[in-house]
Amino acid sequence: MTVLAALAPARWDVKILASDIDTEMLAVALAGLYPEESLRSVPPRLRDPYFVRLSNHGRHLVQIAPEVRELVKVRRINLMEEGWPIRTQFDAIFCRNVTIYFDKPAQHAMLQRLVHFLSPGGLLFLGHSESLLGLHAGLEHVANSVYRNRARHPHRPLAP
């Protein structure tokens, strides 16, 4: 929703990969269906254009609009395993509140794998209680829990 609101979609080829190890969570993400009251903290500029209101046996539901869902692929990935089925790099990776489940060596290995999939100049967003565990190779701190891949993109200037 934020991407659609901020960018002129016709000029950008936007693809989003959403992953989890838990297939029930993935089913929830695929359905994109929520009780209307769960949108209380979503600002109206996003809520109004990007959700469709539905009613099911007296329950007020909302579903994420097709134009948003079309941007997102949902895949089961175990972040603890090597060989993630990913053949690209990402301009932004959000990995929030996941490393908390793992011990320090496992967190370190996972973060290293994440950085490998970050494009030059790309941003890594962690949760506020998570840290890079001293793994700063190639990354610079941009803001609280946000890091940037220092490598320069050959065709794109870094944002200030």
* Binding site residues, ligand SAM, CB under 6 A: 20-22, 25, 77-80, 96-98, 101
- For residues 13 and 24, which CB has a smaller minimum distance to ligand SAM in the complex? 24
Question: In the complex, what is the shortest distance from the CB of residue 160 to ligand SAM, in angstroms, rounded to a whole number?
Answer: 27
- For residues 13 and 103, which CB has a smaller minimum distance to ligand SAM in the complex? 103
- For residues 74 and 98, which CB has a smaller minimum distance to ligand SAM in the complex? 98
User: How much is the CA Rg of the chain, to the nearest whole Å?
Assistant: 18
- Give the helix ranges, DSSP H, for the chain: 2-6, 23-31, 44-50, 66-69, 104-116
Separation between Cα atoms, residue 104 and residue 108, nearest integer Å:
6
Question: In the complex, what is the shortest distance from the CB of residue 156 to ligand SAM, in angstroms, rounded to a whole number?
Answer: 27
- Spell out the residues 6+ positions from residue 129 whose beta carbon is closer than 8 angstroms to its own: 97, 100
- For residues 20 and 91, which CB has a smaller minimum distance to ligand SAM in the complex? 20
Q: SS3 of 26, please?
A: helix
Question: In the complex, what is the shortest distance from the CB of residue 11 to ligand SAM, in angstroms, rounded to a whole number?
Answer: 29
Question: In the complex, what is the shortest distance from the CB of residue 126 to ligand SAM, in angstroms, rounded to a whole number?
Answer: 10
Output the six-digit token pair for 125. 């967003």
